[in-house]
């Protein structure tokens, strides 16, 4: 199944520009959280902001939970680069995660608290050559922080081009985000590869 692709008109540049920027204020983080909570799986949205001469590309995934349960989190991959076409080393990459309304708090790892903020991708875990990527949050919580012992509802992670390329080579990916285990389906892996082709060279 192919990825859903939407291209928004320039009139929506401000909204998408805000949504594609790392949330540095409570308001920005809440906008991000709202977009993530209403995620449409495998949707790719691209927008060119003419005044800023910047392109934002966003892929949203809603991976299944353990045992095929309802998606416990959403993953949003964001690529931002100057101009209309990506250039080598010219794209800023971010992954954002958000707990979904259908997430079961009883199934979350205790490390979903403020002491466990990593995002984990296990690439081809069924093979002896599989690797694990650990991404550590650069910002989390609606205000950029969470009180000790409290739950993290949203978190933001930097992603390198090499790490994104590693994800595109996977035949299977499982992981943990905000304390919840997830697995990516084949069409979601294909969507990551499609996103990668659009944002890096």
pLDDT tens digits for range 41-94: 999 999 999 999 999 999 999 998 877 777 888 999 999 999 999 988 899 999
pTM to 2 decimal places: 0.76
Give the burial class of 118: count Cβ atoms within 10 A of its Cβ; 0-12 exposed, 13-18 middle, 19 or more buried: middle
For the segment 93-106, the average pLDDT, to the nearest whole number, is 76
Q: What pLDDT is stored for residue 201 in this prediction?
A: 87
Task: Describe the strand order of the beta sheet including 4-7 as a list of residue ranges.
Answer: 4-7, 43-49, 54-61, 73-82, 92-99, 154-158, 139-140
Check residue 44 and give its pLDDT.
95
- What's the mean pLDDT in 147-169? 84
Q: How far apart are CA 137 and CA 173, in angstroms?
A: 20
Residue 18 confidence (pLDDT): 35
Quick one: tokens of 180? 């919840």
* CA dihedral sign of residues 91, 165, 62, 150: negative
pLDDT band, residue 23 (cuts 50/70/90) = very low
Confidence of residue 155 (pLDDT cuts 50, 70, 90): confident
Whether the CB-CB separation of 120 and 109 falls below 8 Å is answered with no
> What confidence tier does 5 reach under pLDDT thresholds 50, 70, 90?
very low
pLDDT in tens, 86-95: 988 899 999 9
Decide the pairing of beta strands 43-49 and 180-184.
unpaired
The CA distance from 188 to 182, in Å, is: 12
């Amino acid at each position: 199944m192919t990825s859903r692709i939407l291209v928004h008109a320039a009139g929506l540049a401000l909204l998408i520009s805000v949504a594609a920027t790392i949330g540095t204020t409570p308001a920005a983080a809440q906008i991000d959280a709202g977009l993530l909570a209403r995620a449409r799986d495998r949707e790719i949205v691209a927008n060119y902001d003419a005044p800023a001469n910047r392109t934002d590309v966003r892929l949203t995934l809603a991976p299944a939970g353990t045992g095929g349960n309802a998606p416990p989190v959403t993953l949003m991959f964001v690529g931002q680069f100057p101009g209309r076409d990506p250039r080598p080393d010219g794209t800023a990459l971010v992954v954002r995660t958000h707990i979904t309304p259908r997430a079961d708090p009883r199934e979350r790892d205790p490390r979903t608290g403020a002491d466990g903020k990593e995002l984990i991708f296990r690439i081809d875990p069924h093979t002896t050559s599989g690797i694990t990527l650990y991404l550590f949050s650069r910002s989390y919580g609606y205000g950029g922080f969470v009180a000790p012992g409290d739950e993290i509802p949203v978190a933001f992670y930097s992603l390198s081009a090499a790490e994104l390329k590693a994800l595109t080579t996977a035949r299977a990916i499982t992981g943990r985000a905000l304390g919840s285990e997830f697995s990516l389906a084949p069409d979601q892996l294909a969507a990551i590869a499609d996103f990668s082709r659009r944002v890096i060279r």
